[in-house]
Amino acid sequence: MSLFRRFFKNIVRDRDPGDDTVTVKGKPKPKYYGTVTPYPNFNASSDAAVLQSAIESKGVDEDVIIAVLVKRSNEQRQKIKAVYEASAGKKLDKALKSVLRSDLEDVSLALLMMPGQFDAYLLRKATKGLGTDEAVLVEILATRSNEEIQEIKRVFKEEYEKDLEEVIKDETSGDFTKALLAMLSAKKDESTEVDVELARKDAELLFEAGENTHEADVSTLINILTTRSGPQLTKTFHQYACVSDITLPNALKMELKGDIEDCLIDIVKCAWNTPAFFAEKLHLAMKGHGTCEETLIRILVSRSEVDLKKIVEEYRAMYDITLQEHILNETKGHYQQVLLGLCGPY
Confidence of residue 13 (pLDDT cuts 50, 70, 90): very low
Percent of the chain whose pLDDT exceeds 90: 86
Q: Angle 113-119-122 (CA atoms, 0-180°, nearest 5)?
A: 100
Q: What is the pTM of this model?
A: 0.93
Q: Are 201 and 228 in contact (CB under 8 A)?
A: no
317's CB contacts (< 8 A; 6+ apart) are 10, 12
Q: Are 334 and 62 in contact (CB under 8 A)?
A: yes
Q: Are 240 and 205 in contact (CB under 8 A)?
A: no
For the cut 50, the answer to whether the pLDDT of residue 53 exceeds it is: yes
Q: What does the alpha-carbon distance between residue 182 and residue 185 come to, in Å, rounded to a whole number?
A: 5
Confidence of residue 1 (pLDDT cuts 50, 70, 90): very low
Confidence of residue 346 (pLDDT cuts 50, 70, 90): confident
What pLDDT does 157 receive? 98
DSSP string, 35-69: S--PPTT--HHHHHHHHHHHHHSSS--HHHHHHHH
Q: What does the alpha-carbon distance between residue 309 and residue 226 come to, in Å, rounded to a whole number?
A: 26
Helix or strand holding residue 324 (H, E): helix 323-330
106's CB contacts (< 8 A; 6+ apart) are 293, 294, 297
Q: Are 324 and 309 in contact (CB under 8 A)?
A: no
Q: Are 321 and 46 in contact (CB under 8 A)?
A: no
For domain 44-100, give the fold.
Annexin V; domain 1 (1.10.220)
DSSP at 1: -
Among 10-24, 64-78, 199-213, 329-343, which is the least confidently predicted range? 10-24
pLDDT in tens, 71-85: 999 999 999 999 999
The residue ranges of every structural domain in the chain are: 44-100
For the cut 80, the answer to whether the pLDDT of residue 10 exceeds it is: no
For the cut 90, the answer to whether the pLDDT of residue 130 exceeds it is: no
Quick one: average pLDDT of 207-234?
94
pLDDT in tens, 253-302: 999 999 999 999 999 999 999 999 999 999 999 998 889 999 999 999 99
DSSP at 210: T
